[in-house]
């Protein structure tokens, strides 16, 4: 089945540690997106990528980094510079330039601080 | 940044009743989308309405769009307990550089009592 896989489902970070969240898609979508969701809030865009080897900052990119070496994969690193990383992280993919198409979401990774 | 507001923030109804949720946004859009999120899960796309459309139906869902008022509504008819979830509106901004990026509202929490 086509879809988006995020791993791990739960992740714990120690102070000063970088952690990486995985996102893989087999929908052959060009565009991929990372969102952060805080309790009772909507989603905010962290980073997005339209094509391989290219990515752009979203609204809240500080303290995060990404890479897009393969079309199928868009990992997100939460660095130690992100002082409030506890949140639910959602990855999505879409057709990008074909804007009248929906995004497809993974089931998220919940990140907490130890 | 959040595009706009959703109203109400929470809605509690009995099975069989209709549920109406409203969404307002601030900038010109290419399309508006509604998504559903079950607790602790990713988002599922429900319906997309383009800026030149006024109404769209999908099963028990009816979406309206009023671009002059920058608002949309989602109506769920004959609700079921399984409709209990959070519902989000999201917009794609008008213009060639949106790349399908979504800007989300805060969401409406719908509870349908059996």
The two tokens of residue B6 are: 């959703």
Provide φ and ψ at A38, rounded to 5°: -100, 155
The two tokens of residue A6 are: 């995020």
With CA atoms as reference, report the closest residue to A103 among B42, B5, B39: B42
Q: Comparing A1-15, A48-62, B1-15, B72-86, which segment has the lowest mean pLDDT?
A: B1-15
Give yes or no for A39 touching B (CB within 8 A): no
Residue B40 three-state SS: coil
Give me the residues paired with residue B86 across strands. Answer: B37, B109
Section B53-57 average pLDDT: 97
pLDDT of residue B98: 66
Selected residues 74-103 of chain A with any CB under 8 Å from a CB in chain B: 88, 90, 92, 94-103
How many CB pairs (< 8 A) connect A and B?
76
- In chain A, which residues have their Cβ closer than 8 Å to the Cβ of B102? 33, 43, 45, 103
pLDDT of residue B4: 64
**Cβ(B40)–Cβ(A99) under 8 Å?**
no
pLDDT of residue B1: 42
pLDDT of residue A100: 81
CA distance A23 to A17: 20
- In chain A, which residues have their Cβ closer than 8 Å to the Cβ of B33? 102
Give me the residues paired with residue A5 across strands. Answer: A24
Section A44-71 average pLDDT: 96
């Amino acid at each position: 089945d086509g879809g988006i896989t995020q791993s791990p489902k739960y992740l714990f970070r120690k102070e000063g540690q970088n952690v990486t969240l995985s996102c893989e898609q087999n929908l052959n979508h060009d565009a991929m997106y990372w969102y952060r969701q805080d309790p009772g809030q909507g989603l905010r865009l962290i980073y997005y990528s339209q094509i391989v080897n290219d990515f752009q900052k979203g609204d809240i990119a500080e303290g995060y980094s990404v890479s897009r070496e393969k079309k199928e994969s868009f990992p997100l690193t939460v660095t130690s510079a992100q002082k409030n990383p506890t949140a639910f992280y959602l990855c999505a993919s879409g057709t990008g330039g074909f804007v009248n198409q929906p995004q497809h979401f993974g089931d998220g990774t919940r990140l907490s601080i130890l | 940044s959040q595009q706009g507001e959703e109203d109400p923030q929470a809605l509690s109804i009995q099975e069989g009743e209709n549920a109406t949720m409203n969404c307002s946004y601030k900038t010109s859009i290419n399309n508006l989308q509604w998504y559903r999120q079950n607790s602790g899960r990713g988002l599922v796309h429900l319906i997309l309405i383009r800026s030149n459309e006024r109404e769209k139906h999908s099963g028990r869902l009816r979406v309206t769009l009023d671009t002059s008022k920058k608002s949309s509504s989602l109506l769920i008819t004959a609700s079921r307990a399984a409709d209990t979830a959070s519902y989000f509106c999201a917009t794609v901004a008008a213009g060639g550089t949106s790349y399908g990026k979504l800007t989300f509202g805060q969401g409406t929490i719908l509870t349908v009592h059996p």
